[in-house]
Structure 1
Amino acid sequence: MGGSNQWDAEWEVSEELAHQLISNQFPQLASKRIQKLGHGWDNTVYLVGTEYVFRFPRREVAIHSLTIEKNILPKLKDYCSIEYSLPLFFGEGKYGYPAPFLGYSYLSGEFPIGLTDEQRAVSATTLAVFLKNLHAFPVRIAEENGVRHDHRNLTDIALRKEKMHQFLSNISSHLSEEEYFALANYLKQLSIKKVKPKHTFLHGDLHFKNMLVDKNGKISGIIDWGDINIGHPACDLNVVYSFLPPNARPTFFDVYGEVDEETKLLARLMAIYIPILIMMQAIDLNDLRSIDEAKATIKRALAD
């Protein structure tokens, strides 16, 4: 049953249940080994053989998002310059499991954890081309396929700032004095209340757990498209601050195109807000590796 945190599961999918659901509906996969890869805020993920990944919603809120992925992701082929999760299998809930689920082609790679600034800088142009193309996807087509407009109200900076003060209180015991005051000072200086809405097609949740890199640390894949929405491009542009070091940011904007100061402000805010959320979940799970990477991401996002 669900708990008190926004990432707590409303239902769990065991390995046995995952195998039952997959083998019953896709008998061609019945002989393949199924193993749990982990879970995010909204989905539990299983590797099937070596070729496929299946995502099972663990909260009701994820069901709508999965339906959107089914409809939209196949339409992005001409807009994605980086490999992404393409859905191939569409399953229905059975055996007491109430949600649909999707199977995707497996993308090889590792999460970009512990990379050097030099490794990160190599991906500046790759990320810029990817987001420039993705943000050109026609909003009309997205709307026709049920994609929502800014359902998380990301342009309301005052509300996000209020939440971040509470989050900072929650994680304070896991921060050094320097880390705590860097965040507190950033929030103190954040005076703008709201930014002007924009209407761009977005991945919606770009962070180090939804990006993959090759053995050299270069971006090679984008996964977990469950937060696709139409909204402010700053949501995706957070990677300029969360992933790229300061010296690589001009290269990114040279390729992507310059953006206004409000967009940069909101992008930096999201680059700090998202890893704080990741850190809070990682603390609950005692995931020290993710805690450390979230801290490093925040420090990088705050750097000029």
Structure 2
Amino acid sequence: MSGSNPWDAEWEVSEVLAKHLVYSQFPQLSQESVRLFGHGWDNTVYLVGDRYVFRFPRRSIAVPLLETEGKLLPMLADRITIPYSKPLFYGAGTSEYPPPFLGYDYLPGTYPIGLTDGQRLSSARTLAKFLKELHAFPVLTARENGAPSDHRNLTDLASRKEKMVRHLADLKGYIRGEDYRLISDYLQQLTTDRVEPKEVFLHGDLHFKNMLVDEKGRISGIIDWGDINIGHPACDLNVAYSFLPPAARTSFFQVYGGIDGETKLLARLIAVFIPMMILHQAVTDRDEAIADEAINNIRRALAD
């Protein structure tokens, strides 16, 4: 594996530091326990008591995104129908830890790992309605409150393909031969270099580690909004391919609305790209459950 990864932290937040930051800035929480909940590429997450989750940026790139999130997420309360992370506590940077941080209501649920096709189908229309509502949020309002525009240049398929080829080479010794060939064949057949830009308000990082399900496997929450931006709807619509099996997509698009060929092409590409990145990190972290779900996401995305 390569020595520099996009999830390498610039700021490490220990439990001792997290407690100090939370207790000193929010004394009303000083009797609550603070324990590590996990981390993503951009943030370290701590559970405070059993009611709140605090996210601390791990990388400088996450800071302006967190600040934008703090402004925009409260505006979604009356617009979307799936529970989501609403900021309640706005923490300020200190000499020990320079960036700001946010605290939210804790959303119960688990990652959608190992669900049956039937369980996934049961959430198709709910997920489609959520994205239809989210993508209808006024772009001008989002922009006025700091949402960046396609800050990852997702419509450049040629550049994205190059990154995927490199990651696939890194993964060759860690995945089954048939999975390697499946991804390799897909990338070889991908000849479109770019799609036309479109602008809607996006979650921006929608994948199984940012989704929660209840005990029956139904979608119950959307978390980690640190990549909200204005860009191509395919960025979020990737879940129609990575999360949903082929049989559920008709139901999804009946609610969301039809999409054109370029949107479908880009959505499927992202449905392979994001799980590849998650798989790369899971292999590094030796997290077999996440690695297995990531490769299953890719298989679903390329199933038809």
Give TM-score, length-normalised by structure 1. 0.98
For 1:198-217, list aligned pairs within 5 A.
Answer: 198-217=198-217
1:27 aligns with 2:27: yes
1:251 aligns with 2:282: no
Letter of the 2:10 partner, please give it.
E
How far off is 1:133 after superposition?
Answer: 0.3
SS in 2 for 1:174: coil
Map of 2:89 onto structure 1? 89
1:74 aligns with 2:68: no
Letter of the 2:108 partner, please give it.
S
Structure-2 separation of matches of 1:159 and 1:92: 36
Letter of the 2:216 partner, please give it.
N
Map of 1:287 onto structure 2? 287
Structure-1 separation of matches of 2:180 and 2:89: 45
Report Cα offsets for 1:243-284 as digits up to 9, x if no partner.
000000000000100010100010000000000000111111
Map of 2:12 onto structure 1? 12
SS in 1 for 2:226: coil
For 1:134-283, list aligned pairs within 5 A.
Answer: 134-283=134-283
Map of 1:51 onto structure 2? 51
Structure-1 separation of matches of 2:79 and 2:71: 15
Structure-2 separation of matches of 1:291 and 1:217: 19
How far off is 1:95 after superposition?
Answer: 4.7
Structure-2 separation of matches of 1:101 and 1:57: 7
SS in 2 for 1:83: coil
Letter of the 1:191 partner, please give it.
T
Report Cα offsets for 1:146-184 as digits up to 9, x if no partner.
101000000000111111111110001111111111111
Structure-2 separation of matches of 1:114 and 1:30: 37
SS in 1 for 2:129: helix
Structure-1 separation of matches of 2:27 and 2:148: 34
RMSD: 0.7
Letter of the 1:198 partner, please give it.
K
Structure-1 separation of matches of 2:121 and 2:251: 9
Unmatched runs of 5 consecutive residues or more in structure 2: none
Letter of the 1:188 partner, please give it.
Q
SS in 2 for 1:209: helix
Map of 1:110 onto structure 2? 110
Identity %: 62
Give the count of matched residue pairs.
302
Structure-2 separation of matches of 1:229 and 1:26: 29
Map of 2:296 onto structure 1? 296
Report Cα offsets for 1:187-207 as digits up to 9, x if no partner.
111111100000100000000
Unmatched runs of 5 consecutive residues or more in structure 1: none
SS in 1 for 2:235: helix
How far off is 1:80 after superposition?
Answer: 1.4
Structure-1 separation of matches of 2:78 and 2:260: 27
SS in 1 for 2:155: coil
How far off is 1:93 after superposition?
Answer: 1.6
Structure-1 separation of matches of 2:235 and 2:229: 10
